[in-house]
Structures are given as structure tokens and as C-alpha cells.
Amino acid sequence: MLEHVSSCRLQAITNPARLLLGAVLAIGGLLVALSGQQQMMIVGGLVALLGVLLVICYFTSRRNEIIVASPSLTIHIKVTKKSIDDCAQVIDELEAAINDRFKQSQSHVVASSSRIAM
């Protein structure tokens, strides 16, 4: 089964557009709210609140995935409440197992080819 795995990686999934848009809205809303007019203060406050919500949404929606790929299939494993170090350890162990499996198959090929040569 491991001989079919071609790659394994850790991918961080973020949406930086939320952070950028949230920051622009929050700053713009505060500037409008500080203009001094009553109606503009309300509108600016609402826009700033929307910006802050987008920034919070950005930080709560970030996640990591371990992606295991083979020639015919890609598996996305969502990582929840795990540290990057734990994910890296899983990937290292998988790659080590793949390498060990490859070395074993190569040693069998060498051994069988030496038998044929005799």
C-alpha cells in the first residue's frame, strides 16, 4: 500500500483576502466615524464592526491539512487542534515508512538479479 504513495505534505489553508478587507474596512470605518457627523458616526461604526468581524473570521478559519497523494488519488486530512510539530512528525514517519519500503523492494530486486547472474 505504501508503494503507491508518491508525496505527503502539510498545507496551511488561509484566506488573506478576509484579513486585508477586514483591516481596510476597520480603518476606513474608524476614519469615517471620527468625522464628527452623527449619521456618519453610525455608518462608520458599523463598517468598522464589519471589518473587525472579518479579521476575527480570518483567524478562526485558518487550518492545516496533511495531503497524501498517489498517482490515482489524493487524500486531504484536516488537522484539528494539532500543532505543526505533530503534523510534521506524522509526515516524517510516513516518509520514513515509504523509504524503508522502497529500500526493501530495491534489495529484493538486487538479490533476485544476482541469482539470475549465477
pTM (two decimals): 0.62
pLDDT tens digits along 12-71: 888 999 999 999 999 999 999 888 788 889 999 999 999 999 999 998 888 888 888 888
Classify the C-alpha dihedral 8-78-18-51 as positive or negative: negative
Q: Indicate the domain borders of the chain.
A: 2-117
Per-residue pLDDT at 87 exceeds 80: no
Strand order of the β-sheet with 74-79 is 7-13, 63-69, 74-79
Alpha-carbon 54 to chain mean position: 19
